[in-house]
Structure 1
Amino acid sequence: MLKRVLSLLLVLLLFVLAGCTNSGSSSKSEELSAPAEKVELTISAAASLTDALKEIKAAFEKENPNTIVTYTFGSSGRLAKQIEQGAPIDAFLSASKKDMDTLQDKNLIAADTRVDFAANELVLVAPKDSSLHIDSFDKLSPEHIKQLAVGEPESVPAGRYTKETLENIGLWNKLQDKLVLGKDVRQVLTYVESGNADVGVVYASDARISKKVKVLAIAKSEWHKPIVYPGAVTANTQHADQAKAFLKYLASKKGKEILGKYGFK
């Protein structure tokens, strides 16, 4: 009788142990099969990069399915100010060296991640059906135009480059009464597309994506500082690895091909 009871207890013990083993295996299996948590990467970028970055987002996310890219577009100066004020940004893509330098001087970017990934040109544009014949910036005349749309020089890099250009050819002061200021380069483009300005100064990449404007002239490179686009990971990001991966993709052959497609050098 005692032997029968002991045998029954032994069988029950083996069932319990087997159940524990299967449970443990199941838990480990579930852990291994659980999808990796997705990371949302927030990137502040110059407005002139809008179209190119939308295509780069799709290509990057396809190769990095656990990273979701979200953009904040605007003028580089205003975006830099937002980062200074503590905005939760993972990477900054500027249309000017100056705004990136400001953040670097304040230790708000990881300097070792900084990379120049594109360049651009400054162009004078008019509505597609315009009858104006101005083939050089130095031929801009207050008598020939009613409005000249430009970016705000204090916060919009394209506006700063425009001011430098017009100062170097002696026209900045003469054209003050004609200026229509835009909050970023895309607003300047819109002013010209809509006919609210006779002419405007934007980047070559902006003119390229618009079917409503034509390029009248290209500014000589010696008239303004080099138009270079630097990118960097912010110092306070919680997603440094993913932000670095995005910058690496941006500067890669694939990234450059997409940027070139939209008129960037």
Structure 2
Amino acid sequence: MVSRRFLLSGLAATVVAASPDPAVRIYAAMTFRPVLERVLQAYRDAGGSAVAAYAPTPVLIRQLAGGALADILLTADPAWMDEAVRQKLVQPLTRSDLLRNELVLAAAAGSPTVGTITSGFALAGLLAGGRLAMCDPEHDPAGRYGKQSLQSLGFWPMVEGNIAIAESSLAAVVLVDHGEAKAAVCFKTDLHGDERAVAAGVFPPDSHAPIVYPVALASTARGKNAAAALAFLRSVESLRIFADFGYLPAA
């Protein structure tokens, strides 16, 4: 099993198949690494060839703007895909929303759970004076969604002075795993395979902006192989794998 520390590593590339044709180059937000490895394994089994590079979406955009070559861009934030369109780094007519996600409050395994978090949720009791882990709302989509929900439900004034900033939402869950935070605001998919944390509740979808993940062909995409790989990402087979990790279809 791939360790969670490995999943938190920075930019990494994985060659999924050898082929006489150039491997399709996929630039993907770091959050997709666990599931995309499975998807690319299925692509390899189908005879495809691809290289996946992972980093925070802003880093990927900077690299593309600096001349890096890619065939497909999969982002964790519509706003950054908008920026990629603005800078002409992707082919806008190929853009679509591939997946959706849910925002949850993670807590140590065994903690009481509810369905949907409301303004009456006993967050203070759950934290018990400990820290709430989350991404930086100024620089990370997960942090931005989290702050929106906490503000909408009236919890922000209570927690803003006692937040543990994590480099990613998965890293926020790791802080809960290690007992360094009492709870974490994260994506539902960040809890996949984690036996030390559970979703204490789900933030209402109307308490934050929609969590959707756009994908598009890059402006530097090469030929039919790139289009075929993009079609595979959108296929029923791929969406089934994404669903196994907790992702929801975009439509």
Deviations 1:127-154 (A, max 9, x none): 2155x67773633239734111111223
Equivalent residue letter for 1:86:
G
Distance, in Å, in 1 between the alignment partners of 2:114 and 2:46 is 46
Aligned length: 227
Residue 169 of structure 1 deviates from its aligned partner by: 2.0
Aligned equivalent of 1:253: 236
Asked whether the 8 Å contact 1:146–1:197 carries over to 2, the reply is yes
Aligned equivalent of 2:33: 50
1:82 and 2:82 correspond: no
* Aligned residue among 197, 208, 213 for 2:197: 213
Deviates more, 1:38-47 or 1:213-222: 38-47
Aligned equivalent of 1:181: 165
Q: SS in structure 1 opposite 2:242?
A: helix
1:59 and 2:42 correspond: yes
* Aligned residue among 80, 84, 105 for 1:103: 84
Structure number having the greater helix percentage: 1
Aligned equivalent of 1:116: 97
Residue 116 of structure 1 deviates from its aligned partner by: 1.1
Aligned equivalent of 1:39: 22
Task: Quote the RMSD (CA, aligned, Å).
Answer: 2.3
Structure 1 residues 60 and 225, CA, compared in 2 at 3 Å: closer, same or farther? same
Asked whether the 8 Å contact 1:121–1:204 carries over to 2, the reply is yes
Asked whether the 8 Å contact 2:39–2:238 carries over to 1, the reply is yes
Asked whether the 8 Å contact 1:205–1:264 carries over to 2, the reply is yes
Equivalent residue letter for 1:200:
A
TM-score (normalizing by structure 2): 0.81
Unaligned ranges ≥5, structure 2? 1-17
Structure 1 residues 101 and 240, CA, compared in 2 at 3 Å: closer, same or farther? farther
Residue 166 of structure 1 deviates from its aligned partner by: 1.3
Equivalent residue letter for 2:41:
A
Unaligned ranges ≥5, structure 1? 1-34
Residue 110 of structure 1 deviates from its aligned partner by: 0.7
Aligned equivalent of 1:190: 174
Equivalent residue letter for 1:109:
V
Distance, in Å, in 1 between the alignment partners of 2:42 and 2:113 is 41
Aligned equivalent of 1:171: 155
Asked whether the 8 Å contact 2:103–2:185 carries over to 1, the reply is yes
1:242 and 2:225 correspond: yes
Q: SS in structure 2 opposite 1:72?
A: strand
Distance, in Å, in 1 between the alignment partners of 2:82 and 2:69 is 19
Distance, in Å, in 2 between the alignment partners of 1:79 and 1:185 is 18
Q: SS in structure 2 opposite 1:174?
A: helix
TM-score (normalizing by structure 1): 0.77
Asked whether the 8 Å contact 1:124–1:200 carries over to 2, the reply is yes
Which of 1 and 2 has greater Rg? Answer: 1
Residue 222 of structure 1 deviates from its aligned partner by: 0.5
